[in-house]
Structure 1
Amino acid sequence: MKFRTMKRGMRVLGIAESFTKGSMFSKLAGIVMRRDLIIDGMIFGNVTIEGDDATQSILSMYRSLKRNDINCIMLDGIVISMYNIIDGKELEENTKIPVIVVTFEESEGLEGAIRHHFSNSSEAEMKVELYRKIGQRDKIRLWTGKNLFVRYWGISSEDAYTIINFFTLQGSVPEPIRIAKLAARASIRRQ
């Protein structure tokens, strides 16, 4: 099926996290944003710091919205909450919509950091295996001149590039991610 990036009513679910030092959980915020940059919905969820529940938490958030008009999920990173790794392919397969993951910095990878962080070698190896499964990132240059690093499932690289540019007003942070970050931070401040 061809993804229609030019669809006027396109909606993206942008998801970002925030947590405080010493917390057991990280707060996820999801923002549904239309292509015209109007916010059209919001949802919150939790993931366990150092856990393995990020993919299921995001699926639960998506399903809780009970919407059939979301065309794409856009995530702020694929390794969140101190090595809670999101399985982008599983998200795409279970939601039947494309998934785009954006990151903002070059990196040699996280395998060494994962092994260093987890004292239990079997847990570390399980996380390293999941990390390897997510694959490499593509570097793209936005219309703003800034670079991003992206992974995507269920969509072509050209369509992922187009969607990210549609939703980026300035700099390098797409608006659904920027607003989701603000919402996640605000939600942990009131706790």
Structure 2
Amino acid sequence: MKSGVRALGVAESYPGTARAEGGGRSTLAGAVVRADRVVDGLAFETCTVGGLDATDAVVRLWTDLDRPDVRYLLLAGVAPAWYNLLDLESLHERTDRPIVAVTFEPSDEPLEEALTRAFSGRALERRLERFDRLPPRSRLPINDEAVFLRWVGCEPSEARDVVRAFTPEGGRPEPLRIARMAARAGRALREDEFEGGDEAETAGGDRGGDEPV
């Protein structure tokens, strides 16, 4: 792959307390990174912890960046912000780019079972409907490690080649590594603003969280 090919990596971060409080905000970061590891752009968004608005938040990141030169969209998992499931088909249609979701550990519990344990009624039905539309996961050995991929809008060989090209070392593609660091920094800033809100007379209060499922 040519060194100038760009991918947008999206990762998120939220504090564990947001899950218990309900309705908290997770900080999403989008990092544009070239295949030669040059960072070429950053943007931030938020989505609801335990909600179903992460897909729209990723699209807003894409729109705000306005980078038609980005060729691929890489996602850190499909269930960020406590099962705020991403709709990969919708993301592909709305960005007109191949979508590759990457997870880094085999699931201890199947996602469908985790959803059934965490939700009920219409909230569960909506998530199961979205879950049923997800493509299956595929294991990819890389740099003596392994990741797990789902993709939409490209052939299996292209999805694997993209992840390998953007992972020169370790097991985390560079756009996702940078996005994760940016999301954690953005979350920390939001938390600082929230904690100092009364003193500084600010309206902070959105808080972000940990790595996606």
| Category of TM-score, reference length = shorter chain | over 0.9
Structure 1 residue identity aligned to 2:63? R
Q: Secondary structure at the match of 1:81?
A: helix
Same amino acid, percent of matched pairs: 36
The number of aligned residues is 184
Residue 112 (structure 1) aligns with? 113
- C-alpha separation in 2, matches of 1:77 and 1:8: 25
Q: What's the TM-score once normalised by structure 1's chain length?
A: 0.92
Structure 1 residue identity aligned to 2:7? V
CA drift at 1:166 = 1.0
Is the 1:104–1:147 contact (alpha carbons within 8 Å) kept by the matching residues of 2?
Answer: yes
Q: Secondary structure at the match of 1:148?
A: strand
- C-alpha separation in 1, matches of 2:16 and 2:110: 23
Is the 1:115–1:121 contact (alpha carbons within 8 Å) kept by the matching residues of 2?
Answer: no
Q: Secondary structure at the match of 1:71?
A: strand
Residue 145 (structure 1) aligns with? 144
Residue 5 (structure 2) aligns with? 10
Q: Secondary structure at the match of 1:149?
A: strand
Q: Secondary structure at the match of 1:22?
A: helix
Quote the RMSD (CA, aligned, Å): 1.2
Residue 71 (structure 1) aligns with? 71
- C-alpha separation in 2, matches of 1:183 and 1:126: 30
Is the 2:44–2:61 contact (alpha carbons within 8 Å) kept by the matching residues of 1?
Answer: yes
Structure 2 residue identity aligned to 1:173? R
Is the 2:104–2:147 contact (alpha carbons within 8 Å) kept by the matching residues of 1?
Answer: yes
Q: Secondary structure at the match of 2:17?
A: coil
CA drift at 1:135 = 2.5
CA drift at 1:111 = 1.4
Q: Deviations over 1:84-125 (max 9, x none)?
A: 00011111111111010000111252112111112x422112
- C-alpha separation in 1, matches of 2:189 and 2:59: 25
CA drift at 1:9 = 2.2
Structure 1 gap segments, 5+ residues each: 1-5
Q: What's the TM-score once normalised by structure 2's chain length?
A: 0.83
- C-alpha separation in 2, matches of 1:151 and 1:68: 23
Off by >4 Å, runs of 4+ in structure 1: none
State the structure with bigger RCO (CA 8 A, min sep 6), 1 or 2. 2
Equivalent residues in 2 for 1:53-64 (5 A)? 53-64=53-64
Residue 167 (structure 1) aligns with? 166
Is the 2:135–2:151 contact (alpha carbons within 8 Å) kept by the matching residues of 1?
Answer: no
